[in-house]
Amino acid sequence: MMRNEAEVTTAVAPSAPALSAADRCDRCGAQAYLRVELQSGGELLFCAHHAREHADALREVAVTVVDETHKLSDTPAPAPEGEH
């Protein structure tokens, strides 16, 4: 007896786009550095401060988390006035 099996391949869904300066924290409106995809299908955006504040609760409801808080330290501070 011959079995007729279909070849199955899996595809990875495209990841969420990188956060930009236009993405704002749902709590305070500051620039968002954390995107949380919820088990319910929605998503939340948080600034670094509110991401830390709500980290425990977010871990309980998150399916995926995009953490871009490293961007906060990637930009060098401007030189003080007169030190060009």
Q: How many domains does the chain have?
A: 1
Predicted local confidence at residue 15, as pLDDT: 61
DSSP for 13-78 reads PPPPPPP-TT-B-TTT-SBP-EEEEETTS-EEEE-HHHHHHTHHHHHHHEEEEEE-TTHHHHSPPP
The answer to whether residue 79 is domain-embedded is no
The answer to whether residue 50 is domain-embedded is yes
Predicted local confidence at residue 76, as pLDDT: 65
Q: Alpha helix locations (H) across 1-84?
A: 48-53, 55-61, 71-74
Specify whether the CB–CB gap between 25 and 45 falls below 8 A: yes
Predicted local confidence at residue 74, as pLDDT: 66
Predicted local confidence at residue 21, as pLDDT: 93
The answer to whether residue 57 is domain-embedded is yes
Specify whether the CB–CB gap between 23 and 45 falls below 8 A: yes
The answer to whether residue 3 is domain-embedded is no
The answer to whether residue 14 is domain-embedded is no
Predicted local confidence at residue 52, as pLDDT: 94
The answer to whether residue 59 is domain-embedded is yes
The answer to whether residue 8 is domain-embedded is no
pLDDT tens-digit profile of 8-45? 433 334 566 889 999 999 999 999 999 999 999 999 99
